[in-house]
Structure 1
Amino acid sequence: MNTDTPPQDYLVISRGHWDKDKTREQIDTAITDFYDWLNGHIAAGRMRAGSRLGTDRASVSKAGVTTDGPFGEAKEVVGGYWFVSAGSLREAADLLSHSPTLPCGLHYEVRPLDATVCTASDITNETAPA
């Protein structure tokens, strides 16, 4: 971790599907290696645990209607999440680039956590269009 920059927390979202050309044994090995890799980083204070996501789901719309679909395309499947502490987004991405699941088809979205409260006058990803 960069000692000149205080660490910031980043949300890691695991996405994707296992490559179809990987065997069950290759995927099982990648999963076992992933949890060893993750737990090592958690023990070192570079990551915090998150959770796998279950397969049940619901969608809630602005009309207040809750349904069991439709959902994003299969390529957008989110399998789980956890957190990384790093000095920069690049540092977090570099750390994640060593995950044992990447060669088997999964990929990660990494986003900095922003503890500030959004208002309509702030220009953020939550700001309504003008």
Structure 2
Amino acid sequence: MKHFMLFIREDLDALKNMTEEEMQEDINTMIQWVEALSRSGNYVSGDPLEPEIRVARKEGILTDGPFIETKEALSGYLIIQAENIEQAAQIAQACPLIGRNVKSLEIRPIQKF
């Protein structure tokens, strides 16, 4: 089995307009999906990310821009294991939040040294 990182990208506009109840419902839905991944043996690890950001560049560390205006943000990650990238993509496609606030799950193989 190979490890893959899933980058969770969410719709910022949709998140801003969510009620606390809707946010908690999405959190519970994601927890249930991750628990199912764990039971299937595919889940390795993962966490949500806080919204604070710094960008390190040659000319220095940016704290508040200039960032490209974006409608989506990286809000978390999962590390899963699968036989190949096709299976990892099928696992990612099963995320129940895709099409709601999750715009996409980017799947990247983790290279072992």
TM-score interval w.r.t. the shorter chain?
0.7 to 0.9
Trace 1:88-99 onto structure 2 (pairs within 5 A). Answer: 88-99=84-95
Partner of 2:7: 13
Flag the structure with higher helix content: 2
Q: Cα deviation per residue 1:47-74 (whole Å; 9 max; x = unaligned)?
A: 12211111111111113x1121223432
Shift of 1:23: 6.3
| Matched residue, 2:61 | 66
Q: 2:100 aligns with which of 95, 99, 104?
A: 104
Looking at structure 2, the residues matched to 76 and 23 of structure 1 have their Cα atoms a distance apart, in angstroms, of 15
Please tell me whether the aligned partners of residues 48 and 76 of structure 2 are also in contact (alpha carbons under 8 angstroms).
Answer: yes
Deviation of 1:16 (Å) = 2.4
State the AA in 2 paired with 1:9.
H
- Paired residues for 1:115-130 under 5 Å: 115-116=112-113
What is the aligned-residue RMSD (CA, Å)?
A: 2.2
**TM-score normalized with structure 1 length:** 0.71
Q: Closer, same or farther in 2 for the Cα pair 1:10/1:48, shift >3 Å? A: same
Bigger-Rg structure (1/2): 1
- The question of whether the paired residues in 2 share the 8 Å contact of 1:13 and 1:108 is answered with yes
Identity among equivalent pairs (%): 22
Number of aligned residue pairs: 108
Alpha-carbon separation, structure 2, partners of 1:38 and 1:82: 9
Q: TM-score by structure 2 length?
A: 0.80
Q: Is the 8 A contact 2:12 2:73 kept in 1?
A: no
Deviation of 1:18 (Å):
6.4
Q: Is the 8 A contact 1:86 1:92 kept in 2?
A: yes
Answer whether contact 2:13 2:71 (CA < 8 A) is retained.
no
